[in-house]
Amino acid sequence: MPGKDMSYAAVMGRRSEIMLSAVGIDYDKYELEGVAFDYEKMMSDVGYSIDEIKAIQKSMDVGNTPLLELKNFTALAAKIGGPGKGARIFVKDEACNPSGSFKARRAALAVHEAKKLGYKGVIAATSGNYGAAVACMAAKLGLKCIIVQECYDSKFVGQPEILEKQRACEALGAEVVQMTVGPELFYEDLRLLEVTGFYNASLYVPAAIAGVETLGYEIVEQTRARLGKDPDYVLVTNAGGGNLTGTARGVKKAGAKDTKIYAVSVDLSGLHMASDSDFNRKSFTTGHTGFGIPFTTLPDRCDVPRNAARPLRYIDEYLLVKQGEVFYVTEMLAALEGIERGPAGNTSLAAAVALASTLPEDNVIVVQETEYTGAGKHPMPQLTFARQNGIEIKFGDPDDDVPGKNIILPSDPSKIKLRFNDMKRLRLSNLRNIAKEDREYSAVELQYMADEAGVTVDEAKELLAELKK
């Protein structure tokens, strides 16, 4: 733009200014004293009730997806667990949405807002599924759409799953700006927002999170109607945190106060998500610890000043699964239930199999999403690509998995394990990122930090004292 410094540092430095223009949100008005900000006020200012969001989504053919019982999965979990074990496993079939994933919910409300506010187009930065959802909703409402997608390493080689998502975005009418791996994704997103004057249909704005609340709400409504009770556990594949945040808020708004919210991510420990050399050595483009852990402990690492996705406020436990377990369960879902779905929801489903085998048979687990599958999302192209990149593929014990070196498929279903991440460690990391100054914090700040870490104020004080040791 004439007269403006478009360097990386300058554009990133104008983030709040760009967001005010591209979303219509003055984030400064939610800032409280010190480190605190008013998260609930920011969310309430979306201005729509659950019923109003449902109506908007219904007008765009989004939502009201079926809740499927996986009876053969439950029987398998019971066989693994032994007498009295084997919680019932259900899955919310979000692949039935127009773009093939739950992200149509967040895109519907975001694009609706853009249309209502008079923007001519929308822009989103994404690994792909959300881009397809935004493109789909933009097409429905007659808006232009630009998707900024991290597709390749520096040699312009991309994974089959990423290229499948790219194809979907383009097929649905978006202009796709294809990026190589690195820190430039949000810079390019912000630059284009400033140049075009389009709406920022970000994954992390309040409207996008509010759009997912209907998913959690529907889960509770459907479980009550079908079983006469609330789900005991809702398992959510966690990456950037919006999926979990929106679903959990919807579950709570439905009044299911005792339902446990479990995050699930593929364990990719040791691989750096912004590393060119590691980019094609990971076999999952979302739902893994490379996004899940950093965004849980430091949510504001995104394109907006204050991220509306703040998962640690809602996580009861954080489960980890291995790469091979997800590929195995993807095949198992097709073979045992006659359902082909993509890898993201199957991340939570792998954890559900392990969890169900430890729980009483009268418990209910809901895996809260499926996603569409396509040529690049099937296990075989992904495993073939991994092998081409020097990754060893074999059957055995998934606990021997070393991300970037091998993928170990379970030799039998009993090898699918239940692994709990260290919640205390996550909370300590979260508070370390907030409380950077060595000083006394006010009551308002302490309450904010407690809410962010998902603990009481007294527990937050104890954790803060531990950080000083």
Helix axes 206-227, 50-59, angle to 10 degrees: 100
For the record, the structure tokens of 33 come out as: 């004293």
Question: Which residue stretches of the chain have pLDDT < 70?
Answer: 1-2
pLDDT at 39: 98
**What fold characterizes domain 55-100+207-415?**
Rossmann fold (3.40.50)
CA–CA separation, 314 and 213 (whole Å): 13
In 10 A of CB 118, how many CB atoms? 7
pLDDT in tens, 199-254: 999 889 999 999 999 999 999 999 999 999 999 999 999 999 999 999 999 999 99
Do residues 78 and 87 touch, judged by C-beta distance below 8 A? no
Query: What are the two backbone dihedrals, phi and then psi, of residue 200, each rounded to the nearest 5 degrees?
Result: -85, 95
List Cα–Cα distances, 389 to 46, 53, 243, 407, in angstroms.
Answer: 45, 44, 30, 12
The DSSP bridge pattern shows strands 88-92 and 67-69 to be antiparallel
pLDDT in tens, 71-120: 999 999 999 999 999 999 999 999 999 999 999 999 999 999 999 999 99
CA–CA separation, 307 and 323 (whole Å): 28
Q: What is the CA radius of gyration of the chain?
A: 21
CA–CA separation, 301 and 295 (whole Å): 7
Instruction: Calculate the CA dihedral of residues 333, 338, 341, 344 and round it to 10 degrees.
Output: -20
Residue that the structure tokens 């009201």 belong to: 64
Residue that the structure tokens 């008005």 belong to: 29
Model pTM?
Answer: 0.95
pLDDT at 286: 84
**Residues paired with residue 367 on neighbouring β-strands, in sequence order:** 91, 235
Q: E strands within 278-316?
A: none
CA 134 to chain centre: 15
